[in-house]
């Protein structure tokens, strides 16, 4: 009997459940796909370093899965309670017929089990299918060979998905039972009578609230988007809090404001169904201020996560080509311990290798060997000259007391020739600053513009140019060179020699052989380090290693962004769709009335389209504006990664959002249309 | 002048095994400017009749002519246009849109007809004066009494100057004082503004405000009386006589 009731209920409220089921299926399949990725990656990535990436990816994705399970769990609880509310009259009927609360809970449990098993089954099938497509993306990111690809089902992912969703369904059932046990018959019976009071809010208060919210948002935007340099941690938290509060207030006031504006334009307001449409929209927004705020913020995070994930990939791939022109770079820093204090001293790496019977140039085709210099009088702060105080105040994160690294012009130019980059020419009384971090370029260029004269080892030199020179010494995957000085050879003194550098290309093009060379070089470094009395900190960076790091970063960020983005998107879509559909169901009588008044079906459909459209578009619109500023801010933070045009990544993110969010919109509109046409 | 002509209409529900004849060969005509009441017990077919005239429901057989047009032959857009331009509806449960103010509810009927905003304003204010609701125009349905709501609904029905106003149990959800006030307004609209009103009711008191009463029983016309020169009280007694004749069927509805 219970079974029959449950099945009947699901079949009858299929329209309500359709969106719920649809969301669960997508949720399950996304969960499976991302949990199965590490398995696929392991299949496609064969090299040892890739395996490390795979295990990192696995850790990150399974960690994120806990968060995602939380989000989806909340969504399931929200959606099932929402659907329950729509059935209060039905529960009232059961209770008047003498059914106990335990049996009502049992009916709900049975329904959840049916839906749960159905969604898990369909979702897993869909997920297994989708994950094969995902393999193409994995292969692409890992630059792997697709020929290694085989059809793959991850048992672990299946198990994990089933476990997580079972737990989520159980939580939902517990919540439902708790709600059922607190139900009162009188409330249930009266729930059908809508006593919702549609109060037109005071337009002046709305306008003031709107203006305050807009102004607060504007200030937060300005602070985050343009004054980012002065951004401290507390200030950032404040900006985010202000942004959230302003978003809430905007949604609270926007409908009242807009309605007033439209109402004052009488010829628009009283045309066709406009008055009805505007009133519907405003009542919908007014009853969903909080959810719209949450959805807007989630969409904002989604847009940021997706664009960031895609742009990191483009940037790093481009950087690898331009910022890593040598096969290896060894920085050899030595310290002497005097009176328990580490004192940096110069140590010649090549001689030290030779002393240990090793040849640093063994596998090397071409290399540059040189060293840097330090002058205790040349710190970042002193290089700012008269601007020191101002720049320190504007950029509190700078460590202005640190000594600056100095290179000889001839050494620098030899290296640039090896790199195939432009060389530098300086007059005898000039110095240059070489830097490729955008943030530091801006700061240092201020001092150069001012023509700050710096004394290097007693020689007063003036700036070669009013801007920093773009470049670097050590190859790296990102634009992280915060700046060093290049001075004429005559300006340095050898007593101030600091770190030794040995940078070059191997005598081989073969990647496997180069990997072997890298390994040998690293082993030799360790040997020499152990055989020396001085404390030596060898820092070996190879092109292969930087490439691997880039790929790791790309893979992890891409999948993380996609994962969180997709889950947030389906959550937003589902909440909006459920709200809109129940609103449509409640408004059936109103549409019936319009038909009796002789409104054309086309006009009614158009009205519904506009209502649904505005309901979906409004949070997205505000989220997009947030995202423009958010991405602007993030690109300042991430500028170390490199400069880039955001075009392609943003388009890719937009495509995903349009596909999923737009899909929810379309389904909602079509279902809504059938609901309001229902009783004809 | 003859406005509405109903010719041998029939309406069947159900299938061959269990056929219900809701309307069984009904014919009558309504003159321009008449105030007609249709009386009958629950299940007598009076609401079905009204639904057929209002094109909400379709007849199984027969024809209905309004001002010479056969409305049983109308379809789709023509049907919608007919409804919004020729008819006005008043329902038992008011059917006002709860998200709109009284003013907007009345204006909606005109804006659906794509009337310009200026014309709408004049028309709404005029009809509000006629129905005595000028002071509640800016209120929402939940802020109004039942009587006010029904008068707003009536205003919406007549603001478009329909050829025929159809009212389904208009006093059904009102207390006696509000009902009386509403019916006074109906009589005013009928006499002073020349509105043709057709009203379905099972309440003799409500029917006594009409100029003519048609009684329906089991889907057929049972009897018909006209007020002529008699006053309302006298007409009420006449109606009561017929109701008594109709038997116990209607006594429960009184």
Nearest CA in chain A to B120: A270
Percentage of chain A exceeding pLDDT 90: 13
Classify strands A484-487 and A403-408 as parallel, antiparallel or unpaired: parallel
CA distance A409 to A430: 11
Q: Name the class of domain B2-251.
A: alpha beta
Q: Within A506-542, where are the H helices?
A: 511-530
The pLDDT assigned to A488 comes to 92
The tokens of A318 are what?
């481009």
Report CB contact under 8 Å: A270, B142. Answer: no
Our CA-based measurement puts residue B77 at a distance from the nearest CA of chain A, in whole angstroms, of 7
- Mean pLDDT, range A594-599, rounded to an integer: 83
Classify strands A454-456 and A328-338 as parallel, antiparallel or unpaired: unpaired
The tokens of A289 are what?
């201020």
The pLDDT assigned to B253 comes to 44
The chain-wide mean pLDDT, for chain A, equals 83
**Chain B residues near residue A595 by CB distance under 8 angstroms:** 80
Report CB contact under 8 Å: A589, B111. Answer: no
Per-residue pLDDT tens digits for A99-114: 888 888 888 888 888 8
Kindly report the pTM of this predicted structure. Answer: 0.76
Strand order in the sheet with B35-39: B87-90, B164-168, B197-201, B35-39, B212-217, B220-226
A481 falls in which pLDDT band (50, 70, 90)? confident
Our CA-based measurement puts residue B109 at a distance from the nearest CA of chain A, in whole angstroms, of 6
Tokens 């910022």, located at residue = A323
Residue A477 scores a pLDDT above 70: yes
- Mean pLDDT, range A117-130, rounded to an integer: 91
Per-residue pLDDT tens digits for A49-84: 677 777 888 888 888 888 888 888 988 888 888 788
The pLDDT assigned to B227 comes to 87
Number of Cβ atoms within 10 Å of the Cβ of A324 = 23
Per-residue pLDDT tens digits for A137-159: 777 777 766 666 677 788 888 99
- Mean pLDDT, range A212-219, rounded to an integer: 89
**pLDDT top residue among A207 and A198:** A207
The pLDDT assigned to B247 comes to 67
Most confident of A223-227, A319-323, A330-334, A675-679: A330-334
CA distance A499 to A143: 36
A198 falls in which pLDDT band (50, 70, 90)? low
**Chain A residues near residue B83 by CB distance under 8 angstroms:** 596-598
Q: List the single residue in B99, B108, B112 with the smallest CB-CB distance to A280.
A: B99
The pLDDT assigned to A314 comes to 76
Per-residue pLDDT tens digits for B131-155: 889 999 988 888 888 889 988 998 9
Torsion angle in degrees (nearest 10) through CA of A103, A87, B141, A263: 150
**Chain B residues near residue A596 by CB distance under 8 angstroms:** 54, 56, 83, 89, 95
Q: List the single residue in A267, A589, A597 with the smallest CB-CB distance to B112.
A: A597
Helix (H, G, I), strand (E, B) or coil at B30: strand
Per-residue pLDDT tens digits for A173-185: 888 888 888 877 7
Our CA-based measurement puts residue A591 at a distance from the nearest CA of chain B, in whole angstroms, of 9
Tokens 């949720």, located at residue = A27
Nearest CA in chain A to B116: A267
Percentage of chain A exceeding pLDDT 70: 93
Best of A275, A279, A280, A586 to disrupt the B interface by mutation (most B CBs within 10 Å)? A275
The tokens of A40 are what?
């696929």
Between A42-46, A652-656, A663-667, the lowest mean confidence (pLDDT) is in A42-46
Residue A216 scores a pLDDT above 50: yes
A594 falls in which pLDDT band (50, 70, 90)? confident
A295 falls in which pLDDT band (50, 70, 90)? very high
Buried residues in A611-645 as b, exposed as e (16+ CB within 10 A): bbebbbebbbebbbebbebbbebbbbebbbbbebe
CA A497 to chain CA centroid, Å, is: 43
**pLDDT top residue among B31 and A82:** B31
The tokens of A538 are what?
């060898």
The tokens of A128 are what?
């297994």
Our CA-based measurement puts residue A79 at a distance from the nearest CA of chain B, in whole angstroms, of 26
The tokens of A658 are what?
């349009």
- Mean pLDDT, range A335-352, rounded to an integer: 83
Number of Cβ atoms within 10 Å of the Cβ of B245 = 11
- Mean pLDDT, range B65-72, rounded to an integer: 88
The pLDDT assigned to A640 comes to 55
CA B166 to chain CA centroid, Å, is: 2
The tokens of B5 are what?
């002509």
**Chain B residues near residue A588 by CB distance under 8 angstroms:** none
> How does DSSP assign A385-444, residue by residue?
GGGHHHHHHH-TT--TTSEEEEEEHHHHHHHHHHHT-------TTEEEEE---HHHHHHH
Residue B254 scores a pLDDT above 50: no
What ipTM was assigned to the predicted interfaces of this complex?
A: 0.79
Per-residue pLDDT tens digits for B146-205: 889 988 998 998 888 888 999 988 888 888 888 898 898 888 888 888 889 999 998 889
CA distance A238 to A235: 5
CA B70 to chain CA centroid, Å, is: 19
Nearest CA in chain B to A595: B80
Per-residue pLDDT tens digits for A411-435: 999 999 888 888 888 898 999 999 9
The pLDDT assigned to A122 comes to 93
């Amino acid at each position: 009997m219970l079974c029959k009731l449950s099945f009947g209920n699901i079949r009858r409220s299929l329209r309500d459940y359709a969106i719920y089921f649809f969301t669960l299926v997508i949720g399950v399949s996304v969960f499976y796909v991302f949990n199965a990725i590490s398995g696929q990656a392991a299949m496609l990535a064969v090299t040892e370093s890739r395996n490390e990436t795979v295990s990192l990816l696995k850790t990150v994705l399974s960690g994120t899965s806990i968060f995602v399970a939380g989000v989806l769990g909340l969504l399931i609880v929200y959606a099932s309670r929402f659907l329950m509310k729509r059935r209060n009259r039905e529960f009232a009927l059961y209770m008047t017929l003498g059914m106990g609360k335990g049996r009502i809970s049992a009916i709900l449990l049975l329904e959840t089990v049916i839906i749960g098993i159905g969604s898990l089954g369909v979702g897993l099938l869909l997920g297994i299918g989708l994950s094969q497509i995902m393999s193409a993306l994995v292969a692409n990111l890992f630059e792997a060979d697709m020929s290694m690809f085989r059809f793959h089902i991850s048992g672990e992912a299946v198990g994990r998905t089933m476990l997580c969703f079972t737990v989520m369904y159980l939580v939902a059932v517990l919540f439902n039972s708790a709600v059922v046990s607190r139900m009162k018959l009188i409330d249930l019976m009266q729930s059908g009578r809508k006593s919702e009071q549609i109060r037109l809010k005071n337009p002046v208060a709305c306008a003031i609230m709107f203006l305050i919210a807009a102004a607060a948002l504007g200030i937060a935007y300005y602070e985050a988007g343009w004054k980012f340099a002065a951004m401290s941690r507390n200030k950032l938290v404040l900006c985010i809090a202000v942004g959230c509060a302003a978003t809430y207030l905007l949604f609270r006031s926007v409908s009242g404001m807009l309605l007033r504006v439209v109402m004052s334009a009488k010829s628009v307001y009283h045309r066709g169904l406009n008055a009805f449409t505007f009133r519907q929209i405003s009542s919908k927004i007014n009853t969903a201020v909080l959810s719209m705020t949450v959805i807007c913020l989630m969409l904002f995070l989604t847009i940021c996560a997706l664009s960031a994930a895609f742009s990191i990939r483009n940037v790093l791939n481009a950087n690898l080509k331009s910022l890593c022109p040598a096969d290896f770079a060894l920085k050899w820093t030595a310290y002497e311990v005097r009176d328990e204090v580490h004192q940096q001293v110069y140590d010649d790496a090549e001689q030290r290798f030779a002393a240990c019977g090793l040849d640093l140039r063994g596998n090397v085709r071409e290399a540059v060997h040189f060293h840097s210099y330090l002058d205790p009088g040349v710190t970042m702060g002193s290089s700012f000259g008269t601007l020191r105080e101002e720049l320190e105040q504007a950029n509190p994160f700078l460590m202005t007391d640190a000594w600056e690294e100095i290179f000889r012009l001839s050494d620098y130019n030899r290296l640039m020739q090896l790199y195939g980059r432009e060389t530098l020419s300086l007059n005898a009384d000039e110095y240059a600053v070489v830097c490729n971090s955008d943030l530091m370029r801006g700061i240092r260029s201020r001092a150069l513009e001012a023509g700050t004269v710096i004394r290097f080892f007693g020689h007063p030199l003036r700036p070669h140019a009013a801007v920093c020179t773009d470049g670097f010494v050590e190859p790296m995957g990102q634009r992280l060179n915060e700046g060093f000085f290049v001075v004429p050879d005559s300006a340095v003194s050898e007593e101030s020699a600091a770190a030794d550098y040995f940078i070059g290309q191997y005598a081989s093009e073969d990647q496997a052989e180069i990997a072997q060379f890298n390994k040998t070089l690293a082993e030799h470094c360790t040997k020499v380090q152990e055989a020396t009395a001085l404390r030596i900190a060898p820092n070996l960076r190879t092109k292969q290693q930087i490439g691997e790091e880039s790929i790791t970063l790309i893979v992890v960020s891409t999948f993380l962004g996609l994962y969180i983005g997709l889950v947030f998107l389906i959550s937003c879509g589902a909440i909006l769709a459920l709200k809109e559909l129940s609103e449509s169901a409640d408004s059936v009588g109103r549409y019936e009335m319009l038909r009796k008044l002789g409104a054309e079906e086309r006009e009614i459909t158009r009205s519904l389209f506009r209502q649904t459209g505005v309901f979906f578009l409004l949070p997205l619109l505000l989220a997009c504006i947030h995202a423009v500023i958010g991405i602007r801010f993030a690109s300042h933070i991430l500028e170390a990664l490199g400069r880039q045009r955001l075009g392609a990544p943003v388009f890719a993110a937009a495509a995903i959002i349009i596909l999923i969010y737009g899909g929810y919109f379309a389904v909602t509109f079509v279902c809504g249309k059938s609901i309001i046409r229902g009783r004809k | 002048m003859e406005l509405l002509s109903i010719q041998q209409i029939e309406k069947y529900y159900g299938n061959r095994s269990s056929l219900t004849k809701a309307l069984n060969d009904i014919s009558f005509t309504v003159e321009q400017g008449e105030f007609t009441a249709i009386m009958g017990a629950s299940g007598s077919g009076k609401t079905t009749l009204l639904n057929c005239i209002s094109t909400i429901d379709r007849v199984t057989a027969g024809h209905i002519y309004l001002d010479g047009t056969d409305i049983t032959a109308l379809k789709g857009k023509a049907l919608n246009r007919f409804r919004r331009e020729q008819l006005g509806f008043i329902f038992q449960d008011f059917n006002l849109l709860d998200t709109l103010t009284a003013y907007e509810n009345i204006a909606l009927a005109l804006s659906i007809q794509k009337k310009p905003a200026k014309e709408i304003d004049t028309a709404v204010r005029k009809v509000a004066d006629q129905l005595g609701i000028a002071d509640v125009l800016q209120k929402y349905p939940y802020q109004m009494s039942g009587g006010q709501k029904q008068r707003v609904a009536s205003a919406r029905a007549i603001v478009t100057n329909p050829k025929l106003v159809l009212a389904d149990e208009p006093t059904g959800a009102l207390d006696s004082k509000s009902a009386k006030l509403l019916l006074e307004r109906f009589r005013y609209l009928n006499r002073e503004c020349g509105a043709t009103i057709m009203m379905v009711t099972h309440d003799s008191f409500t029917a006594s405000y009409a100029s003519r009463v048609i009684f329906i029983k089991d889907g057929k016309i049972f009897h018909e009386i006209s007020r002529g020169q008699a006053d309302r009280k006298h007409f009420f007694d006449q109606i009561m006589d017929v109701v008594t004749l109709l038997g116990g069927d209607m006594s429960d509805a009184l």
